[in-house]
Structure 1
Amino acid sequence: MLEKWVYPALGDLKLPDITPANISALLLSMQAKGKAHATVVKCYTILNSLFKMAFLSDTIPKNPMHKVERPKPRKDESRHDEVEAYTVDEVRHILACLDKEPLKWRVLVRLLIDTGIRRGECCGLQWKNVDFQGNSVTISGNLCYTPQKGVYLDTPKNGRSRTVDVDPDIMSLLRALRSEQAAQAISSYVFTQDGSPEPMHPQSPTRYMKKFSQRYNVPDLHPHKLRHTFASIAITSGADVASVSEKLGHSDKAVTLRMYTHADQESIKRASQIFRDALKQDTKKAGQG
C-alpha cells in the first residue's frame, strides 16, 4: 500500500507539511482509478495509524487525519450489498458446457472454479508448481500486464505463496494438457499462447469467457465472478471462513468475512438444525450418564 499509493503521492513531502487536502486527493484518486472500496479504506486506515503515531510522538504538531473523512463506497459499489456469484445449478451448467471446449480452456476454467484463485495467479502457474502426487498446486506468482511493462510475473497479491488442493479430475486434465503442450512447444508455464512457449496473456481468460458467455447463455461470466462463486458456495455450504480465506489468499480474514458471509434461507435453516442436533446429542449423553 505504501509503495503503490502513499509514497508516490506523499513521499516528496515532509510529514508536518502534509495537509488533509493532500490525503483526501490521494484517496479520491484511488477511487477514480477504480480501486475497490475495501482497498481505499485500508489505505485510509494505514494513514490514520501512521499520523496518529507521529502526532503522539510529537513529530507533527497536529494530525491531518482529523479532517479527512473516511472514504464512502462509490455509487456503483453501494448498489451491490452482496458479491455476484453463481448458484450450484449455474456452475453445473458451466461445467457441462465446458466439455465442448478446447482442453486448455477446460482446465483453466475448472481450476478457477475449483480453487478460487485469481486470474493472474492462474496464468502465472508453472509446471514446477503442480504436485501431481499430492493433487495440489502452489500459488507463488501472479502474471500481470501494464502498457508500460508489458506482461510480467509478480508475487501474489498478499505477497506470500500458498498451496491449494485440486480436484483429482482436474489433475487428470492437467496431465493431458502437459502432454498436449509438449507436442507443440515446451514451456515452464501451464497456460500458454497457442503454439508458443510464452505464457498466456493475463487478459486472455476474460476475453475468452466473454465469448463463452454469449455461446452458452451464461450471464456475466468473468474470472473474478468464479472466485466469488467458490467462496460463496463453500461458506454457505458449511466451510469455515478461516479455511476459505487461506485458500483465496486473503491477507486479512475480515475481508472474507465481510464479503461472503451473507446468509441465504437454506444456510439459515441449516444453522438452526445444527444447533438443534447439538442439543439432542448433549441430551442423549446426559441420559446415558
Structure 2
Amino acid sequence: MKKILSSFIRKRNDKYYVYVEYIDEVGKKKQKSQGSFINKKDADKKLIEVKNSINNDIYALPSNISFTNRCYRYYDSKLGISENTIACAKSIVKKHVEPYWGNMKLSDITVNKYQTFVNYVFQKDLAYRSKRKIMQLCNAVLNEAYRLQEINKRITDFIIFPKNNKTHEEEIYSIEEIKQILNALESESIYFQNTIKLLIYGGLRRGEVLGLTWDCVDFENKTIKIQYNLQYIEGKYIMKQPKSESSIRSITLPDHVFDMLKKEKLRQNKLKLQGLMKEKEYDTVCINSNNNYYNPYNLDITFKRFIKRIGLEFKKLHALRHSHVSMLVASGVDVKTISERVGHSDISITLKIYAHAFKENDKIAVDKIDNILSQ
C-alpha cells in the first residue's frame, strides 16, 4: 500500500527542486521530483499546489505499470463490452501502442510526449477512422487513469488532434462491376458463391451473413431474419446478437436467391444423411468446404483473391453492402426503407454514411423536374 510521507523543496546548484517522499508497494522509501525551478518563488508555488492536491486526496502517486500494460488492463476490467471489441482493442494496442511506447511508465507520460505520439499516429499511412480508433483507445485509458488518481493531470485536455481535411466516401462497386462479380461467381465454389450472392442481394454485414441460420429462412414468404452475428475470436467461433436492436430485422430477397437457398438446403440435408456433415450448435446457411462454420477472415482472403483474379480494383468485402445501398438509392427507394433494410438504428446514420449517393440522386431528381417543366 502506497503512503505519502512528506513534500519539500531541495536546492541543488542554482535550481530548486520540489519532491514528494512516499512508501511504494513493497514498503521502500522513494522520492519523486515534481519539477525544477530557477526561482524559489516558483518552487514555493509548486509546493503549495502539490500539498493542496495531497490534502484534497487528488495527488497521484507514481505507478510502476507501463502505459502499454495499462492499455491491456483497461479492457481486461471492462464489463458489458463484446469479446470482439476487446479483441480488436488489444490488437490495436499490440500493433500501434506497444511498438511506440514500449515499457515507458504510465506516470512518465507528459503532455509533450503524448502530443508527439498523436502527431506520429496521424502521419501513419492509415485510414483516418483507424487513426481515430487508436486515439480513442489511448485517450480512454489516460482519462480513466486520471479519474482513478493514477496520474496527476488529465493529459488529453491539452492535446490538439489533427482534423481530417479529406471528405470520406464509402467504397462501392459500380453496377457493371457487380454484374461482373455475379457472372464470375458461377465458376466459383458453391460455398463462396452462395455467401457472396447473399451479401450482394441482402446488403448484409459479414457477420450477419455467416451467422444466418436455416431456422431464420422463411421459404414461404421469401424473407430471411437477421438475428445472429458470427465472430471468430481467439480460435473460437462465437454467435452473438447483433450490436443493436434495429439490426435484428427481416428482409425480402429475390426469387432466384431463394431458389439458390432451396438447392443449398437440399444439398446440406443430403450431406447430413450421408454422415458427411456434423451437427453444429448453430445450423448455418453459409458453410465452408469442410461443412463447418465459414471463417470470417478466410472469407475476406478468398474475396480479395477472387476480385484480383477477375481483374477488378479491390475494395473490401463490406463494399458489397455499400454497393447494395447505393443501388437502392439510385432506384429511388426511400431512406426509411433503406435504413430499416440494412439495420441502422436511425435514418440519420443512413443519410450520413451514404450522403454522396443521396446527393447524386438529388441531381437526377432536379434533371427530371427540369425536363418536365421544359416540355
SS in 2 for 1:203: helix
SS in 2 for 1:222: coil
Q: 1:244 to 1:90 in 2, by over 3 A?
A: same
CA contact (8 A) 1:235 1:261 kept: no
2:237 alignment partner AA: V
Listed as ranges, the gaps of 5+ residues in structure 1 are 1-6, 13-20, 48-62, 281-289
**Corresponding residue number in structure 2 for 1:158:** 244
Residue from 338, 350, 353 that aligns with 1:244: 338
CA contact (8 A) 1:236 1:261 kept: no
Listed as ranges, the gaps of 5+ residues in structure 2 are 1-73, 80-110, 141-153, 272-276
Higher strand share: 2
Alpha-carbon deviation of 1:162?
A: 0.7
Which whole-Å CA distance do the structure 1 matches of 2:317 and 2:351 have between them?
21
1:270 and 2:359 aligned: no
Alpha-carbon deviation of 1:267?
A: 3.0
1:106 and 2:200 aligned: no
Q: 1:9 to 1:177 in 2, by over 3 A?
A: closer
Which whole-Å CA distance do the structure 2 matches of 1:71 and 1:158 have between them?
31
SS in 1 for 2:296: coil
**Corresponding residue number in structure 2 for 1:128:** 215
Which whole-Å CA distance do the structure 2 matches of 1:85 and 1:235 have between them?
13
Q: 1:80 to 1:270 in 2, by over 3 A?
A: closer
TM (norm. structure 1) is: 0.69
Which whole-Å CA distance do the structure 2 matches of 1:210 and 1:11 have between them?
35
1:171 alignment partner AA: F
Larger deviation, residues 268-277 vs 165-174: 268-277
**Corresponding residue number in structure 2 for 1:191:** 286
**Identity within the alignment, %:** 27
CA contact (8 A) 2:286 2:293 kept: yes
Residue from 322, 326, 335 that aligns with 1:228: 322
SS in 2 for 1:223: coil
Note the alpha carbon deviations across 1:68-118, whole angstroms, 9 max, x for none: 878844xxxx64621110111111111111111222222211110111110
5 Å-filtered alignment, 1:1-289, equals 8=75, 36=129, 72-73=163-164, 79=166, 81-147=168-234, 150-159=236-245, 160-184=247-271, 185=277, 188-196=283-291, 198-263=292-357, 267-276=361-370
Q: Larger C-alpha radius of gyration, 1 or 2?
A: 2
Alpha-carbon deviation of 1:239?
A: 1.7
Which whole-Å CA distance do the structure 2 matches of 1:189 and 1:10 have between them?
33
SS in 2 for 1:218: coil
Q: How many corresponding residue pairs?
A: 250
The structure showing larger relative contact order (alpha-carbon pairs under 8 Å, at least 6 residues apart) is 1
Q: 1:132 to 1:264 in 2, by over 3 A?
A: closer
Q: 1:154 to 1:72 in 2, by over 3 A?
A: farther
Higher helix share: 1
SS in 1 for 2:230: strand
TM (norm. structure 2) is: 0.54
1:173 alignment partner AA: M
The CA RMSD measured in Å over matched residues stands at: 4.3
SS in 1 for 2:242: coil
